[in-house]
């Protein structure tokens, strides 16, 4: 496999030869931040285009076709429109919190994005608490949504924010339990090591039944965590106009929009990292020739392929299932997913202790 650390080390050596080590680190930090933000935005644009096309396919339409070939430039046109729109300030609202809220949401999303392993050595944040840090950074995005709903001085926004808060906090529990199941199986929390351990078989095959159950629960809870249909009650347009971001305009709304799409990407990427091997190619222990052929496909292609496959499944959910009622959302989580997740964790622990894993 191609190791991206050769490129990063070369850049590091080059910078260190030009300036003192401390300045080199600062320059590297700025470079990494710029690249991460650029990748974040580019993925968001790809996702928005994909959402429109997938939605159109499920509704037997063509989707955007006018701007550019197959409507490829439609999203760029929309981004440009959003950038030149006026940012409206709301009467009798807390303008400081109103302006801060979208940045909190984006900050949480970008920090989580930085933990993703795109290919071997191509990962911004990687330390021994990787999975835990990932959960920590994704947990304060809900605060931005709550503040947005409250500071908009609008009852619909407030209801949307409360729904979103209740939903995201409770579904985080299921996500945590599913991650714990994988951590129990692997015995590590470092993301690069998690991927490395899947070199002979992906965790979904290694952990067989409990891992598959955890994968399914993770997909459901992840879908709820991103506030998308069938869990899009925080912005149920027929009840609450647009939920917590009703009052936002221009790029402030754009931040919420981008963060929502990127959270979907992050959920799918984590699912592919924890269960489907991340950038690790499909390896079957014993079949050496097959494994070698698979190694010729670069890691980043594997990672993005798996991630976009899961994104496609989640979009399929979105455009197929009807929205849940508000009382069904907590019922599903607290009466079904959490107990199943807990029992599943127990089964996985028993499997690991007895050595019933592959």
Reference 109, options 259, 264, 267; nearest CA is 259
Cβ 306 to another protein, closest distance in Å?
26
Reference 156, options 222, 241, 32, 253; nearest CA is 241
Cβ 242 to another protein, closest distance in Å?
19
Q: Is 195 exposed, middle or buried (0-12, 13-18, 19+ CB in 10 A)?
A: buried
Taking CA atoms, 131 is separated from 186, 187, 207, 270, 289, in Å, by 12, 12, 18, 9, 33
- What single-letter DSSP state applies at residue 241? T
Distance CA 220, CA 212 (A): 13
**Given the complex with another protein, which of 20 and 69 has the nearer CB atom?**
20
Cβ 104 to another protein, closest distance in Å?
8
Helix (H/G/I), strand (E/B), else coil: 122: strand
Distance CA 28, CA 25 (A): 5
**Given the complex with another protein, which of 162 and 251 has the nearer CB atom?**
162
**Given the complex with another protein, which of 144 and 277 has the nearer CB atom?**
144
Cβ 129 to another protein, closest distance in Å?
5
Cβ 47 to another protein, closest distance in Å?
25
Cβ 24 to another protein, closest distance in Å?
11
**Given the complex with another protein, which of 158 and 211 has the nearer CB atom?**
158
Binding-site ranges for another protein (CB under 8 A): 20-22, 25, 94, 96-97, 100, 127-129, 132-133, 135-137, 139-140, 142-143, 146-147, 150-151, 158, 162, 165, 169, 188-189
Given a contact cutoff of 8 angstroms between Cβ atoms, the answer to whether 130 and 189 are in contact is yes
**Given the complex with another protein, which of 97 and 352 has the nearer CB atom?**
97
**Given the complex with another protein, which of 188 and 357 has the nearer CB atom?**
188
**Given the complex with another protein, which of 143 and 340 has the nearer CB atom?**
143
Taking CA atoms, 126 is separated from 27, 87, 114, 120, 195, in Å, by 19, 37, 9, 12, 12
Cβ 14 to another protein, closest distance in Å?
19
Cβ 192 to another protein, closest distance in Å?
13
**Given the complex with another protein, which of 145 and 269 has the nearer CB atom?**
145
Question: φ and ψ at 119, to 5 degrees?
Answer: -160, 180
**Given the complex with another protein, which of 139 and 357 has the nearer CB atom?**
139
Cβ 151 to another protein, closest distance in Å?
8
Given a contact cutoff of 8 angstroms between Cβ atoms, the answer to whether 281 and 297 are in contact is yes
Cβ 2 to another protein, closest distance in Å?
25
Given a contact cutoff of 8 angstroms between Cβ atoms, the answer to whether 330 and 170 are in contact is yes
**Given the complex with another protein, which of 189 and 311 has the nearer CB atom?**
189
Residue 230: is the preceding peptide bond cis (ω within 30°)?
yes
Q: How many Cβ atoms sit within 10 Å of the Cβ of residue 50?
A: 18
Taking CA atoms, 323 is separated from 198, 224, 227, 320, in Å, by 36, 11, 11, 10
Distance CA 274, CA 211 (A): 10
Is the Cα dihedral 111, 115, 116, 117 positive or negative?
positive
């Amino acid at each position: 496999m191609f190791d991206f650390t050769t490129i990063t080390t070369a850049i590091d050596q080059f910078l260190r030869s030009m300036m003192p080590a401390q300045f080199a680190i600062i320059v590297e930090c700025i470079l990494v931040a710029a690249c991460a933000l650029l990748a974040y935005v580019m993925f968001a644009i790809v996702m928005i285009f994909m959402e429109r096309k997938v939605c159109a396919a499920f509704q037997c339409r063509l989707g955007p076709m006018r701007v550019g070939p197959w409507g490829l430039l439609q999203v760029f046109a929309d981004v440009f429109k959003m950038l030149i729109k006026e940012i409206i300030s709301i009467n009798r609202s807390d303008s400081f919190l109103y302006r801060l809220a979208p940045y909190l949401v984006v900050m949480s999303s970008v920090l989580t994005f930085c933990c993703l392993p795109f290919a071997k050595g191509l990962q911004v944040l990687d330390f021994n608490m990787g999975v835990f840090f990932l959960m920590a950074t994704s947990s304060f995005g809900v605060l931005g949504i709550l503040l947005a709903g409250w500071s908009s001085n609008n009852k619909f926004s407030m209801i949307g924010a409360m729904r979103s808060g209740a939903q995201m906090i409770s579904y985080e529990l299921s996500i945590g339990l599913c991650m714990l199941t994988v951590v129990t199986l692997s015995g590590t929390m470092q993301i690069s090591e998690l991927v490395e351990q899947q070199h002979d078989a992906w965790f979904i095959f290694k952990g067989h039944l409990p891992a598959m159950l955890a994968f399914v629960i993770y997909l459901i809870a992840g879908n709820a965590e991103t506030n998308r249909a069938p869990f899009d009650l925080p912005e149920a347009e027929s009840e609450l106009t647009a939920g917590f971001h009703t009052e936002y305009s221009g790029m402030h709304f754009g931040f919420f929009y981008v963060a929502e799409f990127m959270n979907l990407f992050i959920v799918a990427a984590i699912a592919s990292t924890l269960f489907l091997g991340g950038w690790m190619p499909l390896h079957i222990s014993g079949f050496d020739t097959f494994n070698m052929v698979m190694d010729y496909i670069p890691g980043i292609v594997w990672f993005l392929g798996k991630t976009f496959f899961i994104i496609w499944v989640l979009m399929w959910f979105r455009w197929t299932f009807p929205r849940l009622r508000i009382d069904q959302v907590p019922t599903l989580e607290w009466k079904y997913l959490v107990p199943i997740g807990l029992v599943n964790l127990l089964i996985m622990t028993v499997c690991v202790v007895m050595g019933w894993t592959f």
